[in-house]
Amino acid sequence: MRNLIVATAFLITSYPAVANFYDGNKLHDFMRDYELLEAKSPDADMKNAFFYAGYVAGISDAYNDLICKPENTQLGQLWGVVAKYLKAHPERWNRPASELILVALQDAYPCPKN
């Protein structure tokens, strides 16, 4: 029994912690499906496209205090801003998806400096 406890403790402590579920590579894949869906392509994976749309909207809502969007900003604009950022920065696709979305939105909608 003691060996089982030690083995279990070893496995638990040696398992790497994952703070982010998706990176920019995966976000880029989702974004491509979103763009295919927008283009009415039969090759679009709707689940991925809707995931992209929801994920961008969720990060925007979660970090609303760090992004100074104009009052009438539409979701389509946010999706486009993130897509543009991803296309312009493939070198950053190894970063967490949520970070890339936040940086893209902050770049597009910076808050005034105090």
The CATH code that applies to domain 21-108 is: 1.10.890.40
Whole-model pTM? Answer: 0.81
| Cα three-residue angle 22-25-28, rounded to 5 degrees | 100
- Under DSSP, is residue 113 helix (H, G, I), strand (E, B) or coil? coil
Per-residue model confidence (pLDDT) at position 20: 66
More confident residue, 101 or 20: 101
> Token pair 């579920």 is at which residue?
21
Convert the pLDDT of each residue in 23-50 to its tens digit.
Answer: 999 999 999 999 999 999 999 999 999 9
Convert the pLDDT of each residue in 5-24 to its tens digit.
Answer: 433 333 334 334 445 689 99
Convert the pLDDT of each residue in 42-82 to its tens digit.
Answer: 999 999 999 999 999 999 999 999 999 999 999 999 999 99
